[in-house]
Amino acid sequence: MFPIDKFQNIETPFYYYDTELLRTTLNTINNEIGKYENYCVHYAIKANANPKVLRIISEAGLGADCVSGNEIKAALEAGFPASKIVYAGVAKTDKEILFGIDNDIFCFNCESIEELEVIQQLAASRSKKARIAFRINPDVGAHTHSNITTGLAENKFGIPMADMEKVIMLAKNMPNIEFIGLHFHIGSQILEMEDFEALCNRINELQERLEEQGIVVQNINVGGGLGIDYENPNQKPVPDFKSFFEVYAKNMKVRHGQKIHFEPGRSVVGQIGTLITRTIYVKKGTKKEFCILDAGMTDLIRPALYDAYHYIENISNPNGVSKEYDVVGPICESSDVFAKNYDMAETRRGDFIAIRSAGAYGEIMASQYNCRPLPIGYLSEEFK
């Protein structure tokens, strides 16, 4: 599966992106949304902004979901049209907002009254109208890691449901603001479809509330959050987009002419990426053996940051006898651990070790701590 003979002369660690799988994933998404005429998908750039990966995603026709001015810039450079760019974030700076206005992005997902006022001022300074949707905090808890739930009541993200009518009325009275919809995002790595169903029910409630006051919502953006199977990257390389889109089709009461927007990140790129690293030493402790890699938390921080599990395999010795290791990195931090008491084919110094399902929140979260170089990302087709 991995062209290890071609890896010999490349410096490790590096990210390897399976573009065939990326294209299959994008085709699956396009086939599924093709069943619904009102679905639009914006890829969440923050999951992986490698320019070569972004280019393939933009060529598949998806839009982009950005959370900073530089992400908008990266999206435009990768060929995403401004008319398909949405921009969320709790603390957009004036410079970032102006960049969005000057480029005529599709929509600002506005997260506070304070921000609404600033967008109004800045749009006025350019004699333009900015399209905005309000990010409403739906108080729907997702069954995922507490650091990545975002939809609970008291949270830095979004606007409380109780304030929804008030902010919409304010927006409607602003000359340089066009209110075009509502935005939600309940969290990440969600595998229980009931969580998305709960969001649908909440959206239905809110829409009824708004209709009683004659407020029409043209766009509903339900965010991202679909999870991937970190335990079995080979069995389920493409996430279950069919069920994901169906949950919304079945449970959300869609109004005439209304568009439904999605912002998947992890589910688009998570399984396409592998961190390729080498064993530097196999160190015998008193009770344990440590497999010490040349990749560390600076290259892939998810295990240290979220206690995340990644499937790890010794691709130089795939049929070797299984042994137990603590798989660790070289960084001067005790949390620089990929896995503890992990069963893996026996490793020797120099073996290639693959850390799987690292396409999302991997390369983009890399840092230079310990003066390390940033890992390079290669596409599988570059090895052909």
Ligand X SMILES: *Cc1c(COP(=O)(O)O)cnc(C)c1O
185 lines the binding site for ligand X (CB under 6 A): yes
Contact letters (x/-) for ligand X, 207-246, by CB under 6 A? ----------------xxxx--------------------
Minimal distance in Å, beta carbon 273 to ligand X? 13
- Distance from C-alpha of 222 to C-alpha of 199, rounded to nearest angstrom: 8
Taking the least distance from each CB to ligand X, the nearer of 66 and 331 is: 66
Relative to beta strand 259-262, strand 273-284 is unpaired
Taking the least distance from each CB to ligand X, the nearer of 7 and 244 is: 244
Minimal distance in Å, beta carbon 134 to ligand X? 13
Residue 130: C-alpha distances to residues 101, 122, 296, 376 (Å): 7, 9, 43, 37
Residue 380: C-alpha distances to residues 62, 208, 274, 314 (Å): 21, 49, 11, 19
Minimal distance in Å, beta carbon 236 to ligand X? 16
Minimal distance in Å, beta carbon 262 to ligand X? 9
Count CA within 13 A, CB hemisphere, residue 223.
33
Give, as ranges, the residues between 336 and 365 that touch ligand X (CB under 6 A): 360
Query: Among positive and negative, which fits the CA dihedral 295, 301, 304, 306?
Result: negative
In the three-class reduction of DSSP (H, G, I as helix; E, B as strand; rest coil), residue 162 is classed as helix
Residue 96: C-alpha distances to residues 116, 128, 256 (Å): 14, 16, 34
Taking the least distance from each CB to ligand X, the nearer of 57 and 88 is: 88
Residue 331: C-alpha distances to residues 13, 115, 257, 369 (Å): 13, 40, 54, 8
> Looking at 92, 266, 278, 302, which residue binds ligand X (CB under 6 A)?
266
138 lines the binding site for ligand X (CB under 6 A): no
Q: DSSP character for 125? A: H
Minimal distance in Å, beta carbon 355 to ligand X? 18
Taking the least distance from each CB to ligand X, the nearer of 267 and 277 is: 267
Minimal distance in Å, beta carbon 108 to ligand X? 12
Give, as ranges, the residues between 42 and 71 that touch ligand X (CB under 6 A): 44, 46-47, 65, 67
By CB under 6 A, name the binding residues for ligand X: 44, 46-47, 65, 67, 88, 185, 188, 223-226, 263-267, 360
